[in-house]
Every structure is written in C-alpha cells, then in structure tokens.
Amino acid sequence: MLRDATRHLNSLGLTSIVNATGDLEELKLYAALRDRGELTVRTRTAFGAVAVQHRLTPQFLAELDQARGLYHDDWVAANLVKFFADGGTGLVPPLVYSAQDYETLVMDLDQRGYQIMTHALRADSVHMILGHLPTPGTGARTSRSPAANRTRGPDRCQRHAAVRGT
C-alpha cells in the first residue's frame, strides 16, 4: 500500500514528503522500499503523535539516535521531532505542554542536534512556541528548518471565519 501511495504522489507531481507523525517502525518501511528500489518519493520523518507529550526517556532518545544514525540519505531521513503544543480537535484544543515543559524539551533536543517542528492552533500556543525558541544572532545554536509551518494568527482566523460565515 505504501508503494502505491508514493506512486500516486508522483502522479500529482510530488517528489518528496515530510511525515510529521512517524516513528522508527515507519522509517523501516520507507527504508525497505528504498532498498528494493521501490521508493519513489524522498522522505523525512518526524517523531511525533497528535496531542501526545514527548518524554525524553532513554528508549525515546535511543530510537531518535538510531533513526538519525541509520536514516540520513537522500531518500529516507530522520532528524526531526514534532511537537503538538495543543492537540486534537474542537473549537479550543487542549494544551499539551506547559511553557516550561515545552522549553525544556525543545532546548534539550536542539542541543542534541535535532530539528524541531511544532503544531499549534491556539493563539496562546503560538505565543508560547515563539517565546521559547532560540533567538537568532544570540549565539544559541538552533536547528530550526528554514521553512516554518504557517500559523493561524488572529488575522488568518478572522479571514477563515469570514469565509465560513461565522
């Protein structure tokens, strides 16, 4: 099924993807397709699960290190961790992290050389995220990707409400 999905992506003109909610087992599937010459899209996989807190357990860190060590070529890559600052669905998704917990995790993973991506819908979540990233030019190392996810700030939310008629 995964092989067919990648070919479908090719039919749409897509040649690379970011799997934003993956794990070590999914990376192994991509690698198996790559090794058989059947992977037709370049993949980057982030460790993450919707609305689930990351915990820097020895097992989680070992899986991150294993993924980064094994999967770092043009076709299958893993050096990315995705956070969900708020999660799930609904008008007001619940917060997943306190500001202090988020900062501690992000800074620890950043110091270990992992790139970070974070999902946020709520305005307070967006402010929390932006307030706890290393500031460029201060000497703090940052592995932030040059391409950042767009956020749903107040202007965008108002435009969405106008389109929906709410």
Q: Residue 119 pairs with which residues in a beta bridge?
A: 84
Say which residues have a Cβ less than 8 Å from residue 19's Cβ, sequence separation at least 6. Answer: 26, 43, 44, 45, 46
Say which residues have a Cβ less than 8 Å from residue 5's Cβ, sequence separation at least 6. Answer: none
pLDDT per residue of the chain (166 residues) written in tens, 0 to 9: 888 999 999 999 999 999 999 999 999 999 999 999 999 999 999 999 888 899 999 999 999 999 999 999 999 999 999 999 998 667 788 899 999 999 999 999 999 999 999 999 888 899 888 886 655 445 455 544 433 444 444 554 554 444 444 4
pTM of the model: 0.76
